[in-house]
Chains A and B, each alone.
Chain A
Amino acid sequence: MKRFLIALVTLVLAGPALAQSGPLRLTITDGVIEPLPFAVPSFEPENAEAAQVAADMTRLIAQDLSGTGLFREIPASAFISAHSSFTQTVAYPDWRAINAQALVTGAVMVAGNQLVVKFRMYDVFSGAEMGGGLQFAGTVDGWRRMAHKVADAAYGRITGEGGYFDSRVVFVSENGPKDNRQKRLAIMDFDGANVQFLTDSSALVLAPRFSPTGDRVLYTSFGSGFPRINVLDVTSVGTRQLQTAEGEMAFSPRFSRDGTQVIYSLANGGNTDIYRGDIASGASTRLTSAPSIETAPSLSPDGSQIVFESDRSGTQQLYIMSANGGDARRISFGDGRYATPVWSPRGDLIAFTKQNAGRFHIGVMRTDGSEERLLTSSFLDEGPTWSPNGRVIMFMRETQGAGGTSSLYSVDVSGRNLKPVPLPNGASDPSWGPLQP
C-alpha cells in the first residue's frame, strides 16, 4: 500500500506541463493530470440521410477521446463560432478564446448502407492544420468502427502513438450465482458495445486469448470434464480442440507472435509445466521441468523470451526464460505473490496480478523487475491485458461475498483513469485484440 501511495505522488509531480510552445503534442509519459482541451463541432451531414449518424459519430469520437483521460471536451454550448461547414476556414481566434487546443472537424455522407466520413484536425494555438484530411469508407451498420477510426487518427496526431479505439476484446461473459455460474465466450468492442457470444454456456470456458491478428481465439474448455485447449475462428465461430496427448490436461494458452504456435501449461499428475505446441501438427516441446507449478506464460513482443509464474521458490513469483526454455531468472521480489504476467506490446513493461495481505492488485514492472508500481487494489483484481498501444490495461474485478460478481475495468498504465467497462452481464478474463485493419 505504501508503495502504491508513493507511486501516485510521483505521478502527480511528473505530470507534463501543458503550456504550449511549438506545435501541439501531448507526450504520454507517466500520466496526464490536466487533460488537453479539444472541441469537436458536430460533423457536417453532407446529405439528409447522414444527419443522425453524423451526430452519433461526433458524440462517439468525443467520448473516445475524453475516455482516455488525456483529453477534455469543450461543450458545444461554449463555442463562439458554429463550425457548420467542413470546408469553411477555421476561425482560430474563436477557438483560442475558449481555450480549445485541438479542433476536430468532419463531414459524413450516407448512400444506402455506404458511409463515408472525412475529418481534419487543427492545432488552434499554432493556427495550423495537423496532418492532412483523412477519409474512411464503411457501412452505416459499422458507424461505430468509422468513428473509432477517426478518434484513433486524432489520438495518433496529438500523441504521436497508435490508438486503441477500433479494437475488440474477447472475454468470458458470466451469469448466475457463484455456485452455479454460467460462463460463455463473448466478444465486444473495446468500449463494451456490440457484445456477441461465441459459445453457449454448456461447457465451462476460461481465459480466451486473441491471436496477434485477431482472427482466432485460444481458450480453455472443460467440456469433457478435463481442461483442454480449443481454437476458435472468430469469423466462422468454428471450434476445434488443440491436439494434446490423451490424458494430458492443458490450459493457460497464448498464441506465438506469428500465430502458428501456442505456449501453454500442461498438468501431468500433480505437476504443471510450460510447453510450446505447433497448432497445425500438434507437435509439442516441454519448456520447463520443475516439480512446481509453472503457468501463465506470455511471450515478449520479439518472441525471444517468455515471462511466466512459478511457485518453485515456495510462493508464486515471476520468471523470464528463453522462448526455447532453459534457465529462468526471477524478476519479482516484493512482498506477496505475483501471477499472470503479460508482456506489454511495447516491450517495456510486464503487467501482473499481485496478491498481498488479503488484497489483489494489478501492477506493472520493468522487465528486469525494477520500478514496480501497483495500479489498482481491491478484494480481487486479476488477469491484466494490454491495449494495442501498451498505454491501457483491462482486467477483471470480482466483488466479495456470496453475491460477488465479476466485471471488467480499465486503467491507464499510469494508474489514472480507472473505470468499469459498461456491460449488461458479469464478465471476466479479458483479452484485448489488435487494432482492426
Chain B
Amino acid sequence: MTFLTKAALLGLIVVTAGCTRPDRFGAGADDAAANAAAQTDQAGANDPTSPLFFNQTIGDRVLFTVDTSTLTAQGKTILDGQARWLQTNADYLAIIEGHADEQGTREYNIGLGFRRANAVREYLVSQGVPSARLRVTSYGKERPIQVCSEESCYAANRRAVTVISIASLS
C-alpha cells in the first residue's frame, strides 16, 4: 500500500507520520511526543480537521469486554464520530489495530484482535466510510498500554484503535 510511504514523506504533519506505522504502542492520544509536535505544527485539538482532534476529541479507540468483539453503545457513539470525521476528511485512510489483554494465548489473541478490528471496520463501513480507505491488523496481546495484571489495565488493553494517515499530497 503506497499510502504508507507517502504519509511517511509528509514531514509537514509530524503527528500523521508518527501515526502511520501501526507498529507502535497504542498510537494517538497517549503519545505525548506526537501530541507536542502536533501542537506546534498545526492548530491541534481546536481544529476539527486535525488528526489530534480525531484522536483526542472524537476518540481514536473503542474498548471491549473479555473475549468479545461486540461493540458497546459507547463504542458506537465514538465510531459514529470517527465515521463522520473520515467522511469529512476524505484525504485520510485508517488502519484499525485490534488488541487483546494478556489473559489469553498468543495466537488466539491475534485472532481476537482481528475480530475486534473487523467489528470496527464493518461499523465504519455501515456508517458510510468507503471500505477501500480502511485496513485492519491485530497485535494480539503484544502491545499493552497499561501494564498491571488487573482488570483496570486489562479493560484499557482490550481495544481497537483507529490510526489515521493522510492518503495523498493533494
- Which residue of B104, B111, B121, B143 contacts A267 across the interface (Cβ within 8 Å)? B111
Q: How far is the CB of A383 from chain B (nearest CB, A)?
A: 7
A353 CA / B109 CA spacing, docked (Å):
14
The chain A residue with its CB closest to the CB of B102 is A380
- Which residue of A180, A271, A293, A402 contacts B25 across the interface (Cβ within 8 Å)? A180
Determine whether the beta carbon of B107 is less than 8 Å from that of A295: yes
- Which residue of A227, A339, A402, A404 contacts B108 across the interface (Cβ within 8 Å)? A339
Q: How far is the CB of A248 from chain B (nearest CB, A)?
A: 11
Determine whether the beta carbon of B118 is less than 8 Å from that of A269: yes
Asked if A431 lies at the interface with its beta carbon under 8 angstroms from chain B, I say: no
A177 CA / B145 CA spacing, docked (Å):
11
Interface string of B99-135 (1 = CB under 8 A from A): 0001111111011101111110110000000000001
- Which residue of A222, A225, A311, A383 contacts B106 across the interface (Cβ within 8 Å)? A383
**Contact (A227, B149) CB under 8 Å given A179-B144, A249-B114, A270-B119:** no
Q: How far is the CB of B63 from chain A (nearest CB, A)?
A: 17
The chain B residue with its CB closest to the CB of A180 is B25
**Contact (A222, B108) CB under 8 Å given A267-B114, A293-B115, A401-B149:** no
Contacts of B114 in A (CB 8 A): 249, 267, 269-272
Interface string of A258-294 (1 = CB under 8 A from B): 0000000101011110000000000000000000010
Determine whether the beta carbon of A270 is less than 8 Å from that of B137: no
Asked if B147 lies at the interface with its beta carbon under 8 angstroms from chain A, I say: yes
**Contact (A295, B147) CB under 8 Å given A225-B23, A269-B121, A272-B114:** no
A222 CA / B25 CA spacing, docked (Å):
13
Asked if A296 lies at the interface with its beta carbon under 8 angstroms from chain B, I say: yes
Interface of B is mostly: mixed
A429 CA / B106 CA spacing, docked (Å):
9
Number of A-B contacts (CB under 8 A): 115
Q: How far is the CB of B117 from chain A (nearest CB, A)?
A: 7
A322 CA / B4 CA spacing, docked (Å):
40
Asked if B22 lies at the interface with its beta carbon under 8 angstroms from chain A, I say: yes
Contacts of B138 in A (CB 8 A): 227, 249, 267
Contacts of A247 in B (CB 8 A): 135
**Contact (A355, B105) CB under 8 Å given A251-B110, A265-B111:** yes
Asked if B164 lies at the interface with its beta carbon under 8 angstroms from chain A, I say: no
A181 CA / B23 CA spacing, docked (Å):
12
A222 CA / B141 CA spacing, docked (Å):
13
Asked if B148 lies at the interface with its beta carbon under 8 angstroms from chain A, I say: yes
Determine whether the beta carbon of A207 is less than 8 Å from that of B107: yes
Determine whether the beta carbon of A206 is less than 8 Å from that of B106: yes
Determine whether the beta carbon of A204 is less than 8 Å from that of B105: no
Contacts of B4 in A (CB 8 A): 225
Determine whether the beta carbon of B147 is less than 8 Å from that of A222: no
Considering only residues 172-197 of chain A, those with a C-beta below 8 Å from chain B are 177-181
- Top 9 closest A-B pairs, CB basis? A270-B118, A293-B111, A225-B22, A272-B111, A339-B105, A267-B114, A270-B115, A178-B147, A402-B147
A–B Cβ pairs within 8 angstroms, 5 of them? A179-B146, A227-B110, A249-B114, A271-B115, A296-B107
Q: List residues of chain B with CB under 8 Å of any chain A CB.
A: 4, 21-23, 25, 69, 95, 102-108, 110-112, 114-119, 121-122, 135-139, 142-149
